[in-house]
């Protein structure tokens, strides 16, 4: 990958940009200004979700950009409380209305369980996936996938579904690489995307990240994003300033060495959000 416009190919042949823009908390103050700024900076892959409450603002930014809809890659997700066959279909309609579009490029199940102790999650996921498959067959979405699904969650879908998820969006960054889940996805031709690809303050301040940033004359964030890129993962960073948006794009002019990648692979655990699909959320000092 040499530019952010270059694409990876999903398992159904759909092209997906190798770098996205995350919109979680990107509409604070109830405006689309930050998302419009991202579009002006060149981002075309816009990641949202019903839970984020930014779909409306993403739709506004796309409409007011003056660019054709097909220039954008729009992604949203069905939330925990919207799961199930009929509920997912209704949630999808709301998402289309919010985004002012008649199709999505990618639609994901946000979490595999409404809560860690939800007993009938296998059946709920299967019914939700049936709805996703219907939307795909009706060509209302170009690709379908999951988010925060671990191998055993995906195996449940594969056992009864007909379509292999195209994507699994996971928390992924140096210090929290979810090696088993990433390896499983890559072995099954499921593209991994990274939410929170920059980790948190402790990741940015880690001595190895700082050392590599100084060596390559880039920011700590650029090190994290380049790491994801070289791992075959599509990073979806967030930013609220034009300077950071542009820096996050500038990750194609340097390369981490094999040794540096090994060092990042084996960093001590750091920067985890505390979120896990099978466990109660853990409160962690960032």
pTM: 0.96
Q: Which of 170, 151, 254 is nearest to 212 (CA)?
A: 254
Is the predicted pLDDT of residue 79 greater than 80, yes or no? yes
**If you average pLDDT over residues 1-14, what whole number do you get?**
90
pLDDT band at 286 (very low <50, low <70, confident <90, very high): low
pLDDT reported for residue 42 = 96
pLDDT tens digits, one per residue of 21-54:
999 999 887 899 999 999 999 999 999 999 999 9
pLDDT reported for residue 284 = 79
Is the predicted pLDDT of residue 1 greater than 90, yes or no? no
**Beta carbons within 8 Å of 106's beta carbon, 6+ residues apart:** 16, 73, 74, 75, 141, 142, 143, 144, 145, 166, 167
Is the predicted pLDDT of residue 6 greater than 90, yes or no? no
pLDDT tens digits, one per residue of 80-114:
999 999 999 999 999 999 999 999 999 999 999 99
Is the predicted pLDDT of residue 257 greater than 80, yes or no? yes
pLDDT band at 285 (very low <50, low <70, confident <90, very high): low
Share of the chain above pLDDT 70, in %: 99
pLDDT reported for residue 5 = 80
pLDDT reported for residue 145 = 98
**If you average pLDDT over residues 143-162, what whole number do you get?**
98
**If you average pLDDT over residues 224-251, what whole number do you get?**
97
pLDDT reported for residue 4 = 82
Is the predicted pLDDT of residue 241 greater than 70, yes or no? yes
**If you average pLDDT over residues 130-134, what whole number do you get?**
98
Query: Which residues are part of the catalytic machinery?
Result: 52
**If you average pLDDT over residues 218-243, what whole number do you get?**
97
Token digits of residue 20 = 């996205």
């Amino acid at each position: 990958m040499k530019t952010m416009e270059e694409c990876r190919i999903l398992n159904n042949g759909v092209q997906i940009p190798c770098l996205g823009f995350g919109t979680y908390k990107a509409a604070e103050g109830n405006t689309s200004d930050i998302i419009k700024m991202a579009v002006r900076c060149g981002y075309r892959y816009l990641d949202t979700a019903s839970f984020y409450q930014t779909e409306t603002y993403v739709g506004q930014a796309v409409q007011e950009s003056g660019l054709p809809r097909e220039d954008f890659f729009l992604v949203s997700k069905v939330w925990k409380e919207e799961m199930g066959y009929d509920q997912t279909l209704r949630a999808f309609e709301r998402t289309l209305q919010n985004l002012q579009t008649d199709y999505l490029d990618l639609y994901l199940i946000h979490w595999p369980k409404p809560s860690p102790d939800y007993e009938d999650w296998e059946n709920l996921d299967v019914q939700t996936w049936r709805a996703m498959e219907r939307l795909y067959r009706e060509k209302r979405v170009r690709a379908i996938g999951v988010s925060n699904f671990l191998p055993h969650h995906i195996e449940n879908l594969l056992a009864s579904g007909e379509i292999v998820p195209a994507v699994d969006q996971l928390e992924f960054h140096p210090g929290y690489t979810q090696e088993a889940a990433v390896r499983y996805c890559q072995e099954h031709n499921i593209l991994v995307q990274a939410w929170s690809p920059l980790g948190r303050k402790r990741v940015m301040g880690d001595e190895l990240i700082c050392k590599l940033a100084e060596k390559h004359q880039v920011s700590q964030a650029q090190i994290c994003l380049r790491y994801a890129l070289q791992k075959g993962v599509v990073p979806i960073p967030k930013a609220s300033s034009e300077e950071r948006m542009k820096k996050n794009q500038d990750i194609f002019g340097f390369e981490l060495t094999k040794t540096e990648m090994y060092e990042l692979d084996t960093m001590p655990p750091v920067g985890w959000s505390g979120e896990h699909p099978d466990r109660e959320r853990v409160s962690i000092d960032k």
